[in-house]
Structure 1
Amino acid sequence: MSIDLTQRPPRSPRVRLGGYVLLPRLLDKCRAEIAGKNGEYHYNCPLDQRFLSFTGIDHEALKAEAAKGLGDSEMFSWIEKSALYKRSDYEIAQWSRFREEAVPSDNESREYISAQVSKSGGEAREDIGTWFDYLDFDDYVSFGGKA
């Protein structure tokens, strides 16, 4: 189940598993780190920590499970059993919607994203507003896409 993030990006943060945004991306980065093929991507980054905090999952425990070679459905089953915070489908949907719509809330973060988008040739892009928009953009241009 390893993935090589030096050859392609992890899944979009918008992709869901069990209703959770971020989870498939987190799993891709975790598996790549285990395989030593994470490239510029970091498992347990601040965005990953948002999922881990919401569920009450320890990042090292999750990594140990992923190291067993479990697929997405098996990892999700483990997460459902191991989560400290048992969330309803409604709570998961609301949290996922909130995360998907989250925008940089401070000037430093907004300036960082603007600078990164401009540096990548996307200075005319006015459609990059959320964190997820930025991550999708960055993944795309990092692997040869045009801004």
Structure 2
Amino acid sequence: MKAPDLTQAPPRSPRVRLGGYTILPRLLDKARASIAGTLGEYRYGNPTDWHFYRFTGIDPDALLERVKAGGGDWAILQWVQETAPHKRSPFEIAQWAAWTETFAYHGVERRDWFTAEIRRLNPERDDIATVFDRLDLDDYVAFGGEA
């Protein structure tokens, strides 16, 4: 298994798709890094990951075990499609993926946290509105980029 070193570079953007699914390629990067001990400050099974687990019905531990067994992204996607309790059509996957690219933080506490994150990253930015926007910006800044 070739695992990314997430202490040296971020995982793939949550926008990257595999089989139409957003989040999945990033999740696989974090799973492989977790197994290899190179996860750094990232977390496998974080709240964003749970959007994928809930949509597919895949258990996070089962996915981690499948990743441990080896294989590339394509093989794991085929496993997801075969074993997911919630069988989804390509249309449903496309609709879900489009939704994930637009979802924002809900609840006053989460929105306050999000605002504090934007202040931390760059208070001048007024284009950061979604969960994926913040993740991409945070990844960029964490590895030396200027927000």
TM-score range, shorter chain: over 0.9
What whole-Å deviation, never above 9, does each CA across 1:2-54 have from its counterpart, x for those lacking one? 11100000000000000000000000011100111101100111111110111
Q: How does 1:83-122 map to 2 (within 5 A)?
A: 83-120=84-121, 122=122
CA-atom RMSD in angstroms: 0.8
1:66 correspondence with 2:67 = yes
One-letter amino acid of the structure 2 residue matched with residue 42 of structure 1: R
Cα distance in 2, alignment partners of residues 119 and 99 from structure 1 = 24
* 1:113 Cα deviation from its structure 2 partner: 1.8
Q: What displacement does 1:79 show?
A: 0.5
How far the C-alpha of 1:80 sits from its partner, in A, is 0.6
Q: Tell me how far 1:69 sits from its aligned partner.
A: 2.1
Taking only the aligned residue pairs, the percentage that are identical comes to 51
Q: Which amino acid aligns with 2:73?
A: D
Aligned residue in 2 for 1:143? 143
SS where residue 126 of structure 2 aligns?
coil
Unaligned runs of 5+ in 2: none
The DSSP-based 3-state class of the residue aligned with 1:91 is helix
Could you tell me which residue of structure 1 aligns to residue 52 of structure 2?
51
Equivalent residue, structure 2, for 1:133: 133
Structure 1 length as normaliser, TM-score?
Answer: 0.96
Q: What runs of 5+ residues in structure 1 fail to find an aligned partner?
A: none
Partner of 1:2 in structure 2?
Answer: 3
1:101 match: secondary structure: coil
Q: 1:110, CA displacement in angstroms?
A: 1.7
Alignment of 1:17-56 (within 5 A): 17-56=18-57
Amino acid in the other structure paired with 1:117? I
How far apart are the structure 1 equivalents of 2:47 and 2:104? 14
Distance 1:130 1:67 in 2: 32
**TM-score, scaled relative to structure 2:** 0.96
